[in-house]
Amino acid sequence: MSGRFLFVGPGMAQLSGGKMMMAGVTDSPQVDESIDTSQQTAHSPDSPWVTIVWNDPVNLQTYVSWVFRSYFGHSRAEAERLMLLVHNEGRAVVATGGREEMERHVEAMHDFGLWATLTRSDT
């Protein structure tokens, strides 16, 4: 085999050592230093997420309050406050944290029969 590359197919090349790569792609990426990333609004991977519980026509207010007390460990007053937000405003943020933790909370709320979702925090 002569040369460093062996053409394999459209856009692909094989190095003489057997390693496959895209033709024309180098091992070290080229970074454009002229792009200003300081003002970008993308969320960082560790930005907080929230669990939202939504109002539904099925569950009683007392049950929703009990779920908040038993699962999240909220005081009776906090559980009542959150339940009233769900009832009157249609939703309430019941927990804030990392994405995986919020996914577990959403799944737990579903197990209790509540409607819940997660989303990135606005803050």
State pLDDT tens for residues 65-104. Answer: 999 999 999 999 999 999 999 999 999 999 999 999 999 9
Number of domains in the chain: 1
Question: Cα separation of 39 and 31, whole Å?
Answer: 18
Give which of 88, 86, 64 is closest to 76, Cα–Cα: 64
Residue 7 lies in a domain: no
Residue 60 lies in a domain: yes
Residue 86 lies in a domain: yes
Q: Which domain holds residue 64?
A: 49-120
State pLDDT tens for residues 11-64. Answer: 544 545 555 444 444 444 454 555 444 444 455 556 799 999 999 999 999 999
Q: Among the residues of 11-98, which ranges form H helices?
A: 61-72, 76-89
